[in-house]
Structure 1
Amino acid sequence: MELRGFHRLLQGFMLLFLIGTCHARFVVEKNSLTVTSPEKIKGTRDSAIGNFGVPKYGGSMAGVLVYPKENQKACKSFDEFRISFKSKPGSLPTFVLVDRGDCLFALKVWNVQQAGASAVLVADDIEEALITMDTPEEGHSSVKYIENITIPSALIEKTFGDTLKKAISGGDRVNVNLDWREAVPHPDDRVEYELWTNSNDECGVKCDILMGFLKDFKGIAQVLEKGGYTQFTPHYITWYCPGAFTLSRQCKSQCINHGRYCAPDPEQDFSSGYEGKDVVIENLRQLCVFRVANETNRPWVWWDYVTDFQIRCPMKEKKYNKECADTVIRSLGLDDKKIKKCMGDPDADADNPVLKEEQEAQVGKGSRGDVTILPTLVVNNHQYRGKLAKGAVLKAICAGFEETTEPAVCLTSDVETNECLDNNGGCWQDKAANLTACKDTFRGRICKCPLANGVQFKGDGYSHCEPGGPGRCRINNGGCWHESRHGIAYSACLDEGDVKCKCPPGFKGDGVNSCQDIDECNEKKACQCPECSCKDTWGSYECTCSGDLLYIREHDTCISKTRTEVRSSWAAIWVILIGLAMAGGGTYLVYKYQLRSYMDSEIRAIMAQYMPLDSQAEVPNHLSDSNRA
């Protein structure tokens, strides 16, 4: 009793922490419920998504609603009443309406699922705002079947439930549509999600479910992260111990940093085994592993660490300690010194920056409520409701991508149905060119004119798409006539700003449906010289000349081959002779110029000895000066 009371006290401390920071609140995540018939109650209402089962995130379901005449609260197996909700082949799935009260929500859904229904609506029994149907408390025997619930469920308001019951009891066929397509925001091509988890592996069935999920989802999570499709962040819940209790034995064993950060005792036994502070320290280590890995642009290594730590360092084998954790850290090539620095001193009477940030993050912001239970998954700032399993969580993450930006893993048959495979999704297609406007997305198909071979098609996508922009003739010849024979192809497509269909030379026709070969020989359009002989070919013609004559196509005439050859020979000879003459003349002129330059220089030198020239200064008469002495 002392231990259980203390655990409740710790949870109360956390609640006080949330209230002290801001007004604590739990956000009820909703999906849309539309009644499509009968006409008198048609309309759309909100319903609260159950926190178990597999909501069809990103999709919708249509079904027929029934309200059983017996076992209306679904607290007993329907086998006892010989009631089955299995739908007949070709008919709509069966949705079952049950009343709230007398037993757990999860048990109601489990019993209905076992009877063959596809979805469950639980009608509230009091007038109040919608609440979230949650799983049983830890240790409850029925928690074991929670992981086997695979159908979606939702809670509806009492008044709405009464309306549905009245219509069914009156003999009306009530058709409803459950829609989860807007349950997760999908603004862009990257999904941000976070998992509030725990390193403790000794907390019962819920811990087993969490550990199993981490191992199963690791591969997908790392593919999404490495491809840049997602941004994942792990989080860990901590409580605090009020100042009046920090010196108590319970707080010392459950908390670090003098009561600031606490976790419940794993075995719920203060006298033996691991203590709550051991869990807080390992949680802190896992946070620092993520931070250090993120600094080296490898945030996905966190998944390797937590899954390896589960296998190599379990509490059950008494290996849940620092030494084992350090072994895992070194095996992954992480810097253990940086991790130790990030963790700080757990004995210091001061705030730990990492854990303080985690406590602040527990408080809901914007559209997200407070995180008060473990585990909690948050996708694009909306809390995930449903079973923590690989397929169910992947559906929720895939629902967070903007249409047509989903990674390939979201479009596999295990996750969604390709609606383009059935009658091309009702969209435009060109079978000849193997083109379609149908684009499969996680939420269903959209009809959008395609981009093919660099050419963007334009149109409504449903009944009409046509190529636009340059290069349109590359796509199915722009819708113009084309044909190929004996390895020769002709097309009537002309890409001159706007695509025009005009038969090429040698053909006549509209250019769209047909182009017929022109017989140039019969129509006297070619090969008309007297010596010519004409033969029509597909798209052209062949013309030959009689005797030793050569046909010149450009002039449509025949000339003598011999005369041409002779003329060609003499022309070549004359070119050579003229070239030689020009070369010789040039050589002679250069020689004559050089000779004249040489003679001029010699004459000037001789004359300079006897008289000064105009271009040189007067030479002094040294002989006369010497005779004066």
Structure 2
Amino acid sequence: MRRPVLLPLLLLALAAAVVDARFVVEKNSLMVTSPTALRGRRDSAIGNFGIPQYGGSMAGAVVYPKANSDACDAFGGGGGGKDQLFRTKPGALPSFLLIDRGHCLFAKKVWNAQNAGASAVLVVDDKDEPLITMDLPREDDEAAKYIQNITIPSALIDKKFGEQLKKAVKDGEMVNVNLDWREAVPHPDDRVEYELWTNSNDECGPKCDMLMHFLKEFKGAAQLLEKGGYSQFTPHYITWYCPQAFVVSKQCNSQCINHGRYCAPDPEQDFSTGYEGKDVVVENLRQLCVFNVAKEIKKPWIWWDYVTDFHIRCPMKDKKYNKKCAETVIKSLGLDAKKVDKCMGDPNADSDHFLLKMEQDAQIGKGSRGDVTILPTLVVNNRQYRGKLERKAVLKALCAGFEETTEPNVCLSDDMETNECLSDNGGCWQDKAANVTACRDTFRGRVCECPTFNGVQFKGDGYSNCEPAGPGKCLINHGGCWHETRNGKTFSACQQSGNGDCKCPAGFRGDGVKKCHDIDECKEKKACQCPDCSCRDTWGGYECTCSGDLLYIKEHDTCISKTAVQAKAAWAAVWGILVALAVLAAGSYVVYKYRLRSYMDSEIRAIMAQYMPLDSQGEAETRSSSCDEILYRDVFGGEWQLDFRVGMNCVPTHLSGALSPYVSRKQSRLVVFPQNKGETQSVSVNNLGNRDRPPEAIVKVIKAQGNNQQKTRKPYQKYIASTSWLLIHHILQSHFNH
């Protein structure tokens, strides 16, 4: 037999009283559209049951019942509301039932209204006070019949506003309102952050059953959103602490860990049987650690697998709600059980646990979010969710948290929202021919924005005008410009480059948008006007022919003979070949001269350097005091005695005879005209073919006589003597032979 557990409840009440709690009422907007006197926007408090239309809105006509105005009884004389008094008539707005507060539970009022056919419920407060949240009743057999079956939204309005609505309805005026949940959830960006305050206890009645059913049902959607990067989920667990004066009491010892710091109610509310509250706290902590370990390996969605598997494999009713069963589940999911155990620490330690301490701190509301006092509680983008904890309803709330146009596909399915683009294209621009539309379906409705189609960006206001722009614009319906096809030929006024204006192509005249007319080039004498030309107009151009064997040249608008053209082409080819050959010959000659000169110069210098130093070898060496004299008779009859040197050395005497066969020859002679006796002249030995100059010879005049002396009067006159390469070769050859 169970006994009341008063002390634990008192302790929990005391613990809650220590904290200055702040409960935030979640609101939605209520807009009155008629009558004119009441037109405007008011606040209403979202009921914490039913299914609010998060991200959407609902328009309806207000109805106030003449009897049973508090809806505590079933409408229709207790028949369960089967007569559907407030059912929406075809073509009419949905019925919003206006009922009074008092005499029964909020949820029961809404349940009766739903059975009577109402689409939504507005509850009028009976007190002049700030708005409050209509919460779920305590669980009992009667409430369990309708709590999970309420599907219509409800809201609480203040007393003054409610009285105004009732008076307008009684006066026979049409009262139309619009309930708007589009801003009930913040939607700042493309990722939703949400948290669920839950519990591992599975023996707390219908509420625990509802929570576990939701976890199993919502797991798939939650994991898809998390894996896709669309959401960031965080689980939380509510705990209380035991007042210091009762830490050593039996009740605290059975319900708390860490010396009364973290507590949970006894699952069966009976200390003598079953599991204890501290067992629940320990499992709550284990589930937090599972989430942390999974998060470390970047797989936070494993938490959903663990809590659902643990509920199935380790239920309290089967006496498997323990560490051994939990570790079996942990290992089956590929997690490190030792890391989880290390995270949990010692539940008997007289110290704070970092995770549970953070959980208690997080229960206190911050900013726009109130304190977490209801279990379970869902928080979406730091705003507490109100309504039934059911997959579709919660998914609607999450989808409402995305910035418009960033929602994932799961939010745009038919069972989640209505595609407004299917009706009259949402009032947006549309090109039916190209099957392009500016209407973009969103969770909240639709937006009209010019699209990108087949890689082409459209620009415009999205409502009445969208035009392709940029590269490729002519691929989409010719950029909105004129175009026409005849006999397989297509002309378009679309310009890929330029400022994007439509311009009629060559051969046409017009505005380029609606019409381009063909130009008759023959009639307007724009082409084919030479004497021998014959013109025929075509669509988009013309044809010009010449008489006889003449050929038409379009660039010059003239006719020329085909044979002349052929002869001209032949001569052009011949001249081209000749020019190419000439260029090739000149190039070959230049290369030949350069290579031959380089080769001969290197060879001669190498040979002569073996017996006569060159200029590059320096002038530090001293000449011999005297050389053998050579008697030389020049071509003018002059007679010379020469001290003949090559470089720094004397020419050997036995070479003097080698000069005579050559110096007397006119084509190859050695002529020296020094200015005075004893003066040294530099004599160059050059080839008549202008080859590179060999080393200079130094000639010293020993004795001079004859007819040539008159030429020496010219001051420092030097005449270059030329000798053939054969002479140099003969001298060197004679030297080698000796």
TM-score scaled by structure 1?
0.90
1:54-93 → structure 2 map (5 Å cutoff): 54-80=51-77, 84-93=85-94
Are the structure 2 counterparts of residues 607 and 141 from structure 1 closer, same or farther at C-alpha, using a change threshold of 3 Å? closer
Q: Deviations over 1:397-418 (max 9, x none)?
A: 1112222222222122211112
Letter in 2 for 1:552: I
Instruction: After TM superposition, give the deviation of residue 480 of structure 1 in Å.
Output: 2.0
Q: Deviations over 1:533-561 (max 9, x none)?
A: 44433322333444444433222233344
User: How far apart, CA to CA, are the structure 1 residues paired with 2:606 and 2:178?
Assistant: 120
SS of the aligned residue for 2:311 comes to helix
Aligned 8 A contact 1:10 1:264 in 2: no
Aligned 8 A contact 1:63 1:92 in 2: yes
**71-80 or 387-396, larger mean C-alpha shift:** 71-80
Which residue pairs with 2:676 in the alignment?
Answer: none
User: How far apart, CA to CA, are the structure 1 residues paired with 2:558 and 2:34?
Assistant: 85
1:58-137 → structure 2 map (5 Å cutoff): 58-80=55-77, 84-137=85-138
Which residue pairs with 1:201 in the alignment?
Answer: 202
SS of the aligned residue for 2:580 comes to helix
User: How far apart, CA to CA, are the structure 1 residues paired with 2:67 and 2:377?
Assistant: 36
Instruction: After TM superposition, give the deviation of residue 181 of structure 1 in Å.
Output: 1.7
Unaligned runs of 5+ in 1: 625-629
Are the structure 2 counterparts of residues 609 and 353 from structure 1 closer, same or farther at C-alpha, using a change threshold of 3 Å? closer
Which residue pairs with 1:516 in the alignment?
Answer: 517
Letter in 2 for 1:255: C
Aligned 8 A contact 1:472 1:499 in 2: no
1:205-604 → structure 2 map (5 Å cutoff): 205-452=206-453, 453-459=455-461, 461-466=462-467, 473-494=474-495, 498-588=499-589, 590-591=591-592
Are the structure 2 counterparts of residues 596 and 132 from structure 1 closer, same or farther at C-alpha, using a change threshold of 3 Å? closer
1:41 lines up with 2:7 in the alignment:
no
User: How far apart, CA to CA, are the structure 2 residues paired with 1:606 and 1:12?
Assistant: 122
Instruction: After TM superposition, give the deviation of residue 503 of structure 1 in Å.
Output: 0.7
Instruction: After TM superposition, give the deviation of residue 439 of structure 1 in Å.
Output: 2.9
Are the structure 2 counterparts of residues 580 and 249 from structure 1 closer, same or farther at C-alpha, using a change threshold of 3 Å? same
Q: Deviations over 1:209-244 (max 9, x none)?
A: 111111111111122222222221111001111222
Are the structure 2 counterparts of residues 449 and 257 from structure 1 closer, same or farther at C-alpha, using a change threshold of 3 Å? same
Are the structure 2 counterparts of residues 326 and 524 from structure 1 closer, same or farther at C-alpha, using a change threshold of 3 Å? same
Letter in 1 for 2:457: V
Letter in 2 for 1:528: Q
Letter in 1 for 2:151: T
Letter in 2 for 1:402: E
Are the structure 2 counterparts of residues 3 and 487 from structure 1 closer, same or farther at C-alpha, using a change threshold of 3 Å? farther
Aligned 8 A contact 1:136 1:143 in 2: no
User: How far apart, CA to CA, are the structure 2 residues paired with 1:48 and 1:496?
Assistant: 58
Are the structure 2 counterparts of residues 545 and 312 from structure 1 closer, same or farther at C-alpha, using a change threshold of 3 Å? farther
Are the structure 2 counterparts of residues 590 and 363 from structure 1 closer, same or farther at C-alpha, using a change threshold of 3 Å? closer
Instruction: After TM superposition, give the deviation of residue 146 of structure 1 in Å.
Output: 0.7
Instruction: After TM superposition, give the deviation of residue 395 of structure 1 in Å.
Output: 1.3
User: How far apart, CA to CA, are the structure 1 residues paired with 2:228 and 2:358?
Assistant: 28
Are the structure 2 counterparts of residues 231 and 597 from structure 1 closer, same or farther at C-alpha, using a change threshold of 3 Å? closer
Letter in 2 for 1:47: S
Which residue pairs with 1:146 in the alignment?
Answer: 147
* Match 1:26 to one of 23, 43, 64: 23
Aligned 8 A contact 1:144 1:205 in 2: no
Instruction: After TM superposition, give the deviation of residue 454 of structure 1 in Å.
Output: 4.2
Letter in 1 for 2:556: H
Aligned 8 A contact 1:13 1:239 in 2: no
**464-473 or 234-243, larger mean C-alpha shift:** 464-473
User: How far apart, CA to CA, are the structure 2 residues paired with 1:607 and 1:435?
Assistant: 92
Aligned residue pairs: how many? 619
User: How far apart, CA to CA, are the structure 2 residues paired with 1:163 and 1:395?
Assistant: 32
Q: Deviations over 1:380-427 (max 9, x none)?
A: 111111100011111111112222222222122211112222222223
User: How far apart, CA to CA, are the structure 2 residues paired with 1:148 and 1:41?
Assistant: 34
Are the structure 2 counterparts of residues 523 and 272 from structure 1 closer, same or farther at C-alpha, using a change threshold of 3 Å? same
User: How far apart, CA to CA, are the structure 1 residues paired with 2:419 and 2:260?
Assistant: 54
User: How far apart, CA to CA, are the structure 2 residues paired with 1:366 and 1:31?
Assistant: 18
User: How far apart, CA to CA, are the structure 2 residues paired with 1:91 and 1:571?
Assistant: 91
Are the structure 2 counterparts of residues 574 and 306 from structure 1 closer, same or farther at C-alpha, using a change threshold of 3 Å? same
Are the structure 2 counterparts of residues 320 and 433 from structure 1 closer, same or farther at C-alpha, using a change threshold of 3 Å? same
TM-score scaled by structure 2?
0.78
Aligned 8 A contact 2:15 2:243 in 1: no
Aligned 8 A contact 2:493 2:513 in 1: yes
Of the two structures, which has the highest relative contact order with CA contacts closer than 8 Å and spacing of 6 or more?
Answer: 1
Instruction: After TM superposition, give the deviation of residue 6 of structure 1 in Å.
Output: 3.5
SS of the aligned residue for 1:45 comes to strand
User: How far apart, CA to CA, are the structure 2 residues paired with 1:250 and 1:454?
Assistant: 72
Instruction: After TM superposition, give the deviation of residue 344 of structure 1 in Å.
Output: 1.6
Instruction: After TM superposition, give the deviation of residue 207 of structure 1 in Å.
Output: 0.9
SS of the aligned residue for 1:48 comes to strand
Letter in 1 for 2:57: S
Instruction: After TM superposition, give the deviation of residue 113 of structure 1 in Å.
Output: 0.6
Letter in 2 for 1:65: V
SS of the aligned residue for 2:559 comes to strand
User: How far apart, CA to CA, are the structure 2 residues paired with 1:30 and 1:611?
Assistant: 116
Aligned 8 A contact 1:139 1:204 in 2: no
Letter in 2 for 1:209: M
Letter in 1 for 2:73: K
User: How far apart, CA to CA, are the structure 1 residues paired with 2:543 and 2:276?
Assistant: 99
User: How far apart, CA to CA, are the structure 1 residues paired with 2:488 and 2:236?
Assistant: 67
Instruction: After TM superposition, give the deviation of residue 595 of structure 1 in Å.
Output: 5.3
User: How far apart, CA to CA, are the structure 2 residues paired with 1:526 and 1:245?
Assistant: 111
Instruction: After TM superposition, give the deviation of residue 296 of structure 1 in Å.
Output: 2.3
Are the structure 2 counterparts of residues 609 and 177 from structure 1 closer, same or farther at C-alpha, using a change threshold of 3 Å? closer
User: How far apart, CA to CA, are the structure 2 residues paired with 1:135 and 1:603?
Assistant: 119
SS of the aligned residue for 2:212 comes to helix
Instruction: After TM superposition, give the deviation of residue 287 of structure 1 in Å.
Output: 1.1
What is the root-mean-square deviation of aligned Cα atoms in Å? Answer: 2.9
User: How far apart, CA to CA, are the structure 1 residues paired with 2:585 and 2:33?
Assistant: 105
Q: Deviations over 1:473-519 (max 9, x none)?
A: 55543432122345543221335553322211011111111112223
Which residue pairs with 1:627 in the alignment?
Answer: none
Letter in 2 for 1:87: T
Aligned 8 A contact 1:135 1:143 in 2: no
Are the structure 2 counterparts of residues 520 and 127 from structure 1 closer, same or farther at C-alpha, using a change threshold of 3 Å? same
SS of the aligned residue for 1:372 comes to coil
User: How far apart, CA to CA, are the structure 2 residues paired with 1:32 and 1:605?
Assistant: 109
SS of the aligned residue for 1:78 comes to coil
Aligned-pair identity in percent equals: 71
Instruction: After TM superposition, give the deviation of residue 347 of structure 1 in Å.
Output: 1.6
